[in-house]
């Protein structure tokens, strides 16, 4: 049997279709990597294509390495000549050769997010650009979007000259690009944008690479942005042998600029394209696939397909709805522990996925209590640690003295007695002459205002020059060790307080690890003449996803976005509630931006299809968010899975809270009953079940209390009201902020210095419970603002009140916000501040 006979019919079709544009719609777990590697092998073995004429683009370095290894096993030779890399790595490789045509040195530095922020902070301070209406994050986000769409500073300036805020952003964009060029640096967005600019401005360079890459393959095409689309279009324009692989149902990076239209409209761009669907799944059981199919079919903007498998049907998807977020975390930990002890689960094949990082805290705490080893994906990146950034800044300065961010970081690390005023004088001197900060340091003798510190500045420059001289004869490992020794960095670490990481020992170990990494880089690239620029490039392009794996027997905790491309025997999807998943912000804009909900649904699909054998969905009836108790409906994505596909006997905690599909008795009507009849929405007259038991745990604090944020269960099962509240304007969610009656002491020791229980103060002002005994809510007073006033909101920023209407229990306020349009809120929850 030949190697291609092991492929299924659709996979083989995708491998053998080598000419012209090809779109492979590869469902989750359908063996797309296998298809890509066999396709490359087929081009080399059967079509006699030179390996160096093949380009394969992946989204992670790990995927690129795996593809090269697999091809090498199949063809036995030539794999090292195939251009297999990420978008950014490919662009760096091209720019290292031709950056001079764009006015950059070929040894340019790649700025990470922290470096870019440092540059932008200086610009905002210098030109007074940051205000209450315009924050650094907004400026940088806008600039990133411009680059994703190949809009340069001049084009943006022309398009926004009549908008006051955007004019400021335009100034920031222009100065930011000038600063990068002066520092001979590019940020991540520049790597793509500048390569496109190079191809457009230098036809002979484009022609060279078009002739080089006669066959192009792009993985994860649904995640490409507009700049990446244009880059590939230009490269493939001559021979048109372009094969893109992706799944529109897994397009989850819109917030990073990904444009799902790239894959949905592929056939419009290439009308002669061949479309091949890979729907047979080799990862999950049919039960899991049926759940995934049921959810994603609710999206309208997608290409029709349905996953199936020849494997066993498997277990049903488990659904477990707990009382609180604390209970949810406790269930996940105890369930994993129980399955581990029974031999049904291994830690390294188990993952807990959630919508936001904030959800991990309670889960971590319970894992510690249960003794479950775990790792968090997306924690502090190794290369983002203080001591590592310091030493990398030394290496960057040695490699590229024009990098102002690196030079400024280390000029006083360790302390050299150079004051901030002196550095400001040096920066002014550099600005006046349009030279780099380092070049200004070299001319310290000519800066009259720094005469007292000139000697210290010259010593710093002499040290850097000495390192550059040593670099000619030292290995990279020897150079790094010399830097550490000469500057006395290890002694400096001992003087640091434990203010950012976890102590001197950890920092010292991290330094040792960096030495090991640079030694490994030299060893792995021995035949290609390893360089300092090359090492710094590799460090800049590393991603968290590339480091996942290994032999560690640990459960992985990560966001759903981080889980893309991974698979596990056991998966727990936590926080399956409205306002958590889908997120609160997505629901806020559901009417104006329906695509937001579709992307959230795709994210749910990604989460479900990470599971190979067992999938457990968990939710909490209430959880603490930003100090408020939220009562959330079960996520619509759970409701979209038919009941017959769910195992509620083993994993379902009684009748669902806010799970009733009867529109006549939804959660809002329950709140209306609370107000109109003086009854609690949780009374047995309204919801049957065990919700609100006398002693329950509060998800936000984990403290026993017989109160549910002001609603106390009585022995008869009725609820006595002890607080006031109101609905939010969000379907499926409501919050009650309450001042509870003093509770009887709980039989549990409470610290004397903890005045708050369950987020509500124990002490009350006299008369604060007036009217409550009758079961009626306290009416909110009129806010201190009125129509026409300017107000600020913690999320939406600054806006103008356009209407203020008195309601039965609260005032409804309408605000036209400067940056996100009109919002209608209740005053009690809006927490608007008059300005």
- For the stretch 166-212, pLDDT in tens is 999 999 999 999 999 999 999 999 999 999 999 999 999 999 999 99
For residue 98, the model assigns a pLDDT of 97
pLDDT at 354 over 50: yes
Confidence class of residue 63 from pLDDT cuts 50, 70 and 90? confident
Q: Of 277, 334, 272, which Cα lies nearest the Cα of 302?
A: 277
Q: 483 or 80, which is more confident?
A: 483
pLDDT surpassing 70 at residue 755: no
pLDDT tens figures, 527-576? 778 999 999 988 888 765 555 655 578 999 999 999 998 999 999 999 99
Do 29 and 84 belong together in one domain? yes
Are residues 388 and 245 part of one domain?
Answer: no
**b/e 183-215 (16+ beta carbons within 10 angstroms → b):** bbbbbbbbbbbbbbebbeeeeebbeebbeebbb
- The residue from 220, 248, 290, 348 that is catalytic is 220
pLDDT of res. 312: 81
SS3 for 540-586 is: HHCCHHHHCCCCCCCEEEEECCCCCCCCEEEEEECCCECECCCEHHH
Residues 75 and 222 in one domain: yes
Angle at 625 between CA 623 and CA 630, to 5 degrees: 50
* Pairing verdict, β 628-632 and 733-735: antiparallel
Instruction: Kindly tell me if the per-residue pLDDT of 675 is higher than 50.
Output: no
- The predicted pLDDT at position 429 comes to 93
pLDDT of residue 545: 58
9 and 54 inside one domain: yes
pLDDT at 592: 84
* Catalytic annotation, pick one of 250, 321, 324, 397: 250
Question: The whole model's pTM is what?
Answer: 0.72
Rounded to an integer, the average pLDDT of 661-665 is: 31
Note whether 493 and 504 are within 8 A (CB).
yes
Of 613 and 768, the one with more pLDDT: 613
Question: How high is the pLDDT of residue 497?
Answer: 53
Cis peptide upstream of residue 582 (ω within 30 degrees of 0): yes
Residues 530 and 409 in one domain: yes
Residue scoring higher pLDDT (794 or 644) = 644
pLDDT tens readout for residues 486-518: 999 999 998 875 454 444 457 888 898 899 889
Query: Which of 496, 518, 545 corresponds to the end of one domain?
Result: 545
> Among 165-174, 723-732, 813-822, which stretch is predicted with the lowest mean pLDDT?
723-732
In CATH, what number is assigned to the domain containing residue 449?
1.10.486.10
Residue pLDDT, tens place only, 628-645: 778 888 999 999 999 999
Chain-wide mean pLDDT for the chain? 82
- Residue 619 near residue 635, CB atoms below 8 Å: yes
- At 737, is the pLDDT very low, low, confident or very high (cuts 50, 70, 90)? very low
Which entry of 112, 189, 219, 600 is annotated as an active-site residue? 219
Q: Tell me: do 386 and 426 sit in the same domain.
A: yes
pLDDT at residue 45, rounded to an integer: 87
Say what the pLDDT of residue 676 is: 36
The two tokens of residue 388 are: 């590592």
Is residue 738 over pLDDT 90? no
pLDDT (0 to 100) of residue 758? 32
**pLDDT number for residue 714:** 33
pLDDT, mean of residues 291-296: 97
Of 31-35, 643-647, 731-735, which gets the smallest average pLDDT?
A: 731-735
- Looking at the structure, tell me whether residues 505 and 393 fall in a common domain: yes
Domain count for the chain: 4
Q: How confident is the model at residue 673, as a pLDDT?
A: 33
State residue 401's pLDDT score: 83
Which structural domain range is residue 137 located in?
111-182
pLDDT at 546: 58
As beta bridge partners, residue 791 has 799, 834
In this predicted model, which residue has the larger pLDDT, 358 or 661? 358
Q: Are residues 221 and 129 in the same domain?
A: no
Indicate the residue among 217, 251, 280 that finishes a domain: 280
> What mean pLDDT do residues 122-129 have?
90
Assigned token pair, 211 = 């002739």
Known catalytic residue at 250: yes
Indicate whether 92 belongs to any domain. Answer: yes
Among residues 159, 182, 205, which one ends one of the domains? 182
Q: State the DSSP code for 713.
A: E
Percent of the chain with pLDDT over 90: 57
Predicted pLDDT at 760: 32
User: Does residue 307 register a pLDDT over 80?
Assistant: yes
Whether 32 is a known active-site residue: answer yes
Q: How confident is the model at residue 379 (pLDDT cuts 50, 70, 90)?
A: low
Pairing of strands 756-757, 733-735: unpaired
Assess whether 610 carries a catalytic annotation.
Answer: yes
Q: Which of 12, 13, 18, 33 is catalytic?
A: 33
pLDDT at 697 exceeding the cut of 60: no
> What's residue 709's pLDDT?
34
Whether residue 570 contacts residue 613, with contact meaning beta carbons closer than 8 Å, is answered with yes
- The least confident of 107-111, 392-396, 740-744 is 740-744
Kindly compute the dihedral angle of the four CA atoms of residues 297, 300, 303, 308, in this order, to the nearest 10 degrees.
0
Residues 810, 726 contacting (CB under 8 angstroms):
yes
Asked whether residue 208 falls in the same domain as residue 156, the answer is no
| Residue 477: active-site member | no
pLDDT confidence of residue 549: 56
Q: What whole-number distance in Å separates Cα of residue 739 and Cα of residue 726? A: 13
Indicate if 165 and 38 belong to the same structural domain: no
Q: Is the pLDDT assigned to residue 657 strictly greater than 50? A: no
What confidence tier does 86 reach under pLDDT thresholds 50, 70, 90?
A: very high
Residue 613 belongs to what H/E stretch? Answer: strand 611-625
Given a cut of 80, is residue 672 above it in pLDDT? no
**420 and 523 fall within a common domain:** yes
* Residues paired with 583 in a beta bridge: 579
351 is a domain residue: no
CATH of the domain at 11: 3.40.50.300
- Choose the catalytic residue: 32, 320, 507, 727: 32
């Amino acid at each position: 049997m030949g190697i291609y006979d092991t492929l299924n019919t659709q996979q083989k079709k995708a491998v053998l279709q080598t000419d012209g544009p090809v779109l492979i719609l590869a469902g989750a777990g359908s063996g797309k990597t296998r298809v890509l590697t066999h396709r490359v092998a087929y081009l080399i073995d059967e079509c006699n294509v030179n390996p160096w004429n093949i380009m394969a683009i992946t989204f992670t370095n790990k995927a690129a390495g795996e593809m090269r290894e697999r091809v090498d096993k199949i063809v036995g030779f030539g794999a090292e000549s195939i251009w297999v890399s990420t978008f950014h790595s490919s662009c760096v490789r091209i720019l290292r050769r031709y950056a001079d045509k764009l006015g950059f040195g070929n040894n340019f530095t790649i700025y990470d997010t922290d470096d870019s922020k440092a540059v932008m902070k200086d610009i905002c301070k210098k030109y007074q650009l940051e205000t209450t209406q315009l924050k650094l994050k907004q400026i940088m986000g806008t600039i990133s979007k411009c680059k994703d769409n190949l809009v340069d500073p001049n084009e943006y300036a022309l398009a926004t000259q009549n908008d006051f805020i955007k004019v400021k952003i335009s100034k920031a964009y222009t100065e930011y690009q000038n600063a990068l060029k002066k520092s001979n640096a590019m940020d991540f967005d520049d790597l793509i944008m500048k390569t496109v600019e190079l191809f457009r401005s230098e036809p002979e360079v484009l022609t060279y690479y078009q002739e080089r890459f006669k066959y192009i393959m792009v993985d994860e095409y649904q995640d490409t942005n507009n700049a990446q689309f244009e880059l590939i279009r230009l490269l493939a324009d001559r021979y048109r042998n372009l094969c893109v692989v992706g799944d529109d149902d897994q397009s989850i990076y819109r917030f990073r600029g990904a444009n799902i239209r790239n894959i949905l409209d592929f056939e419009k761009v290439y009308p002669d394209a061949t479309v091949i669907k890979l729907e047979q799944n080799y990862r999950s059981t049919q039960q899991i696939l049926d759940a995934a199919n049921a959810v994603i079919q609710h999206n309208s903007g997608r290409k029709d397909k349905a996953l199936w498998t020849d494997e066993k049907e498997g277990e049903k998807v488990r659904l477990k709805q707990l009382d609180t977020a604390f209970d949810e975390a406790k269930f996940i930990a105890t369930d994993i522990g129980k399955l581990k002890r029974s031999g049904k689960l291994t830690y390294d094949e188990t993952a807990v996925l959630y919508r936001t990082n904030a959800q991990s805290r309670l889960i971590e705490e319970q894992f510690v209590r249960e003794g479950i080893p775990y790792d968090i994906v997306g924690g502090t990146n190794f290369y983002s640690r203080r001591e590592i950034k310091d030493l990398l800044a030394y290496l960057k300065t040695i490699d590229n003295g024009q990098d102002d961010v690196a030079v400024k970081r280390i000029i006083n690390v360790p302390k050299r007695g150079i004051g901030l005023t002196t550095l400001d004088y040096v920066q002014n001197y550099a600005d006046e002459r349009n030279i780099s900060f380092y070049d200004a340091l070299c001319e310290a003798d000519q800066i009259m205002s720094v005469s007292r510190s000139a000697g210290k500045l010259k010593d710093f420059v002499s040290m850097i020059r000495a390192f550059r001289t040593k670099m000619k004869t030292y290995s990279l490992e020897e150079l790094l060790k010399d830097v550490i020794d000469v500057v006395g960095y290890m002694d400096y670490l001992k003087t640091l307080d434990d203010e950012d990481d976890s102590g001197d020992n950890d920092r010292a170990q991290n330094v040792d690890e960096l030495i090991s990494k640079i030694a490994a880089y030299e060893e792995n690239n021995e035949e290609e003449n390893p360089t300092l620029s090359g090492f710094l490039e590799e460090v800049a392009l590393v991603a968290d996803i590339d480091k996942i794996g290994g032999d560690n027997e640990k459960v992985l905790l990560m966001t759903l976005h981080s889980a893309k491309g991974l698979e596990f025997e056991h998966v727990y999807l936590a926080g399956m509630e409205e306002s958590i998943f889908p997120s609160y912000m997505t629901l806020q804009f559901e009417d104006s931006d329906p695509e937001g909900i579709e992307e959230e649904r795709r994210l749910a699909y990604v989460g479900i299809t990470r599971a190979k054998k067992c999938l457990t969905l968990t939710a909490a009836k209430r959880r603490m968010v930003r100090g408020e108790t939220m009562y959330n409906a079960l996520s619509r994505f759970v409701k979209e899975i038919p009941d017959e596909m769910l195992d509620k006997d083993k994993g379902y905690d009684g009748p669902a809270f806010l799970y009733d599909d009867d529109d006549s008795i939804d959660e809002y009507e329950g709140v209306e009953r609370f107000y109109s009849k003086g009854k609690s929405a949780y009374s047995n007259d309204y919801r049957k079940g065990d919700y609100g038991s006398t002693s329950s745990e509060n998800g936000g604090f984990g403290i026993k209390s017989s109160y549910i944020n002001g609603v106390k269960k009585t022995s008869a099962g009725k609820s006595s009201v002890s607080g006031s509240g109101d609905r939010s304007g969000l379907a499926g969610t409501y919050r009650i902020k309450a001042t509870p009656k003093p509770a009887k002491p709980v039989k549990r020791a409470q610290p004397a210095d903890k005045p708050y229980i369950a987020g509500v103060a124990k002490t009350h002002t006299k008369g604060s419970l007036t009217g409550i005994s009758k079961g009626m809510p306290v009416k909110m007073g009129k806010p201190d603002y009125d129509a026409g006033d300017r107000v600020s909101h913690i999320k939406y920023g600054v806006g103008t009140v356009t209407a203020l209407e008195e309601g039965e229990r609260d005032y409804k306020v309408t605000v036209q916000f400067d940056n996100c349009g009109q919002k209608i809120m209740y005053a009690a929850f809006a927490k608007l501040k008059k300005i």
